[in-house]
């Protein structure tokens, strides 16, 4: 074996993911010690930045001992500026986690204030940021805090929901820091599980051996792009208890939203009535009817990319009864229908038409032929056609054909999250 040709060990080992942990000033700061332990246990490395008020609750010594890294507390350290400036500090990280994120820290971030080390590097970073808020229930519910959270989410910051329960201050409600295990689960989800798998396999053999290390931005090819996605069915009311609907579960659209957020995009997900959790880092707008969905889509513009996955009801009841329609003998009440607007076709004609506009087409026969026709009819750039003759609607898998003006490609049947990842990879390639 030509051992001499092997790359040095440092080149073929996968670098562990690195977390920059900012610890704000609140009683929940003590839980950051446990979070550091969990991050280390998972195989990731961590470096801490402690705010001045955070230092009232935990000491740099504790954090340094647990992280086995120097703890950074001030913007004005000549040694750090020379050896590791605040920009470098945030950019060497794969993820910046603020835990606990106080109301004050969140407000400063939302306002773009940079008056200490933590806020300066948060303004300077190009790395994904996740905030884990913890504060008194009234502070959490205050309009100013909620406004700041909405702003931060719109800016692409991932904000975890605080837990509800008894607080150190004696009050009860939302605002508690989630348990460190829950924060760790979120970090692992954002980082992917490969570093965990390697660490916990105990095999001492890395399944990614030989793979080149990825440049950080290869992971976030959609950074700075706004991706607008519709998903799920629409419900068109007939009377207060009945509606017209279809079998769409929303799973494919939600998976695409998750994959787009994972690729660094700012994602707006307009969701019809579905029972699905909002993917991390996604701004969700819930709607019920096609008309509401159309308005939400227009309100969310401008967007760089729009992916219209929703199974919008083609028709709605011409008029909606305010009262439950009663049975009248044998003959059913006639139901007069009106056509819904075609949201996708409308977006194609809109003055703020997204640069890349993608429609979905649920077909049961002559899939490619119908998709080609739809491409022209709707005025979009790609049609993702899926064969819904099986259990695709509501099912876990999907087999699709991507039809564009220049040709089409068929993908074998895949789990919906995998279809989503491939679609986002294809989009990233298209716009790069």
Q: What is the DSSP string of 271-294?
A: E-S---PPPTTEEEEE--SHHHHH
Annotated catalytic residue within 48, 99, 169, 380: 169
96 binds ligand C5P (CB under 6 A): no
- Cα angle value 80/81/86 (rounded, 5°): 90
Q: Least Å distance between CB 259 and ligand C5P?
A: 17
Lay out the site mask for ligand C5P across 31-50 (x = CB under 6 A, - = otherwise).
--------------------
343 makes contact with ligand C5P (CB under 6 A):
yes
* 270, containing H or E segment: strand 266-271
340 binds ligand C5P (CB under 6 A): yes
118 is an interface residue for ligand C5P by CB under 6 A: no
Is 344 a binder of ligand C5P (CB under 6 A)?
yes
Q: Would you say 265 or 380 has its CB closer to ligand C5P?
A: 380
Q: Is 99 marked active-site?
A: no
Chain positions 219 to 278 lying near ligand C5P, rule: CB under 6 A, are 230
Mark the segment that binds ligand C5P (CB under 6 A) among 107-115, 276-284, 358-366, 395-403. 358-366
Q: Does 342 bind ligand C5P (CB under 6 A)?
A: yes
Query: Of these, 66, 158, 229, 361, which contacts ligand C5P (CB under 6 A)?
Result: 361
Written as one string, the DSSP assignment of 123-143 is HH--S-EEEEE---HHHHHSH
Give the CA distances from residue 197 to residues 45, 200, 204, 205, 368, in Å, rounded to whole numbers and listed in that order: 15, 5, 11, 11, 40
Nearer to ligand C5P, 54 or 232 (CB): 232
- CA neighbor of 156 nearest in space, from 216, 99, 227, 91: 227
Residue 294 C-beta: closest distance to ligand C5P, Å: 8
Rounded (10°) angle between helices 60-67 and 31-41: 10
Instruction: Indicate whether 290 belongs to the interface with ligand C5P (CB under 6 A).
Output: yes
CA atoms of 385 and 371, how far apart (whole Å): 6
DSSP 5-62: GSPPHHHHSPPPPEEEEEE-SSGGGGHHHHHHHHHHHTT-EEEEEE-TTGGGTS-HHH
Kindly identify the residues of this chain, within the stretch 316-335, that bind ligand C5P according to CB under 6 A.
Answer: none
Q: Which residues contact 161 (CB under 8 A, 6 or more apart)?
A: 174, 178
Cα–Cα distance measured from residue 164 to residue 118, given in angstroms and rounded to the nearest whole number = 27
Question: What minimum distance in Å lies between the beta carbon of 364 and ligand C5P?
Answer: 11
292 to 311, contacts with ligand C5P by CB under 6 A? 308, 310
Please report how close the Cβ of residue 399 comes to ligand C5P at its closest, in angstroms.
17
Phi-psi region of 366 (alpha: psi -120 to 50; beta: other; left: phi over 0): left
Packed helices 31-41 and 180-191: angle between N→C axes, nearest 10 degrees: 40
Q: How many amino acids of this chain bind ligand C5P (CB under 6 A)?
A: 12
Please pick, from the candidates 360, 421, 427, 428, the single residue that binds ligand C5P as defined by CB under 6 A.
360
The stretch among 169-177, 239-247, 324-332, 342-350 that binds ligand C5P (CB under 6 A) is 342-350
Using CB under 6 A as the criterion, which residues of the chain lie in contact with ligand C5P when the complex forms?
230, 290, 308, 310, 312, 340, 342-344, 359-361
> So which residues are the catalytic ones?
169
């Amino acid at each position: 074996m030509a051992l001499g040709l092997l790359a040095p060990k440092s080149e073929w080992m996968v670098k562990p993911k690195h977390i920059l942990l900012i610890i704000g000033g609140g009683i929940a700061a003590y839980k950051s010690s446990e979070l550091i332990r969990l991050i280390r246990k998972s195989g990731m490395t961590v470096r801490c930045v402690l705010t001045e008020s955070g230092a009232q609750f935990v000491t740099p010594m504790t954090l340094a001992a647990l992280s086995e890294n120097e703890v950074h507390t001030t913007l004005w350290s000549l040694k750090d500026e020379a050896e590791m400036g605040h920009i470098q500090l945030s950019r060497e990280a794969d993820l910046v986690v603020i835990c606990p994120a106080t109301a004050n820290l969140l407000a400063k971030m939302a306002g773009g204030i940079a008056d200490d080390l933590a806020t300066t590097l948060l303004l300077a970073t190009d790395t994904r940021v996740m905030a884990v808020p913890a504060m008194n229930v009234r502070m959490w519910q205050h309009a100013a805090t909620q406004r700041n959270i909405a702003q931060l989410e719109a800016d692409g910051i991932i904000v975890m929901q605080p837990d509800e329960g008894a607080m150190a201050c004696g009050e009860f409600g939302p605002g508690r820091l989630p348990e460190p295990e829950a924060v760790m689960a979120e970090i692992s989800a954002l980082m992917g599980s490969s570093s965990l798998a390697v660490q916990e396999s105990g095999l001492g053999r890395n399944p990614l051996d030989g793979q080149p290390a990825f440049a950080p931005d290869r992971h976030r090819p959609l950074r700075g792009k706004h991706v607008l996605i519709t998903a799920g069915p629409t419900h068109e009311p007939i009377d207060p208890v009945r509606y017209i609907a279809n079998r769409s579960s929303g799973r494919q659209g939600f998976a695409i939203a998750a994959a787009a957020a994972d690729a660094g995009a700012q994602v707006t997900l307009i969701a019809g009535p579905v029972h699905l959790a909002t993917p991390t880092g996604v701004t969700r707008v819930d709607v019920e009817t096609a008309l509401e969905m159309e308005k939400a889509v227009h309100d969310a513009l401008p967007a760089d990319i729009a992916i219209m996955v929703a199974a919008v009801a083609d028709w709605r009841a011409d008029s909606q009864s305010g009262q439950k329609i009663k049975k009248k003998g044998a003959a059913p009440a006639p139901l007069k229908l009106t056509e819904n607007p075609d949201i996708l076709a409308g977006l194609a004609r809109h003055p703020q038409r997204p640069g890349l506009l993608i429609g979905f087409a649920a077909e049961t026969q002559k899939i490619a032929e119908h998709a080609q026709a739809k491409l022209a009819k709707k005025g979009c750039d790609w049609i993702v056609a899926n064969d819904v003759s099986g259990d695709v609607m509501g099912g876990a898998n999907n087999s699709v054909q991507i039809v564009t003006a220049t040709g089409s490609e068929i993908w074998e049947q895949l789990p919906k999250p995998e279809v989503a990842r491939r679609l986002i990879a294809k989009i990233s390639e298209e716009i790069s």
